[in-house]
Copies of this chain bind each other. A is one copy, B any other.
Amino acid sequence: MAARDPEATKARIFEAAVAEFARHGIAGARIDRIAAEAKANKQLIYAYFGNKAELFAIVLEKKMLHVAEDVPVDPDDIESWIDRVMDYHAAHPELLRLLFWEGLEYGSAELPLESARQEHYARKVAALQDAQDRGVVTEAIPAGDLLFLLTALANWTAVVPQMRRILVGEGETDRDRLRASVKEAARRLTAR
């Protein structure tokens, strides 16, 4: 390991920020904790990423890009798409938490790096719209609404784990059954 390695330092700060923001949100995150976790000086965070809000925006946007590449919408096989979405979020629980923190702390106000987000969603909606045009997916629900609701089904667990525990259970069997239910629900939402 080189004594000076800005790329590695940047990467350490980034990963530390992901963990810190996912755990504590924006208001609860501590720049000092990120610096300590990354074994980097606090000032480097400001040098490389601007301020706290910018750091959060950069962190979330990069993670969103990652999910877009790893789990593209596949309207021709909704069930396996749901599987891949749920697998992804089970393996990377930070992303959804970052998204929820953003939703709760920023509300519906305009986001920093907004256009990237719009593009991200537009591509997914287009895929669904195309499937509707081809008659593979129902047109009873508009493509944007449909994506929104499918996302709700797949990700609700991460928002209200307390409710999930009480209502669904938390055993291996319960998890499998819930996943089957989510897929059945997704099938019903998209069926013609």
Binding site for B on A (CB under 8 A): 24-28, 97, 99-109, 111, 114, 117-118, 121, 125, 140-142, 144-149, 151-153, 156, 159-170, 177-178, 181-182, 184-185, 188-189, 191
Q: Nearest 5 pairs between A and B by C-beta?
A: A152-B156, A108-B161, A27-B28, A145-B181, A103-B160
Q: Which residue on B lies nearest to A147, using beta carbons? A: B167
Residues of B within 8 A of A142 (CB): 177, 181
- Can you give 30 A-B contacts (C-beta < 8 A)? A25-B25, A26-B28, A97-B104, A99-B163, A102-B162, A103-B161, A103-B162, A104-B159, A108-B161, A117-B162, A121-B166, A125-B167, A141-B181, A141-B184, A141-B185, A144-B168, A144-B169, A145-B168, A146-B181, A147-B167, A148-B181, A149-B156, A149-B181, A149-B185, A151-B160, A152-B153, A152-B156, A153-B153, A188-B189, A189-B189
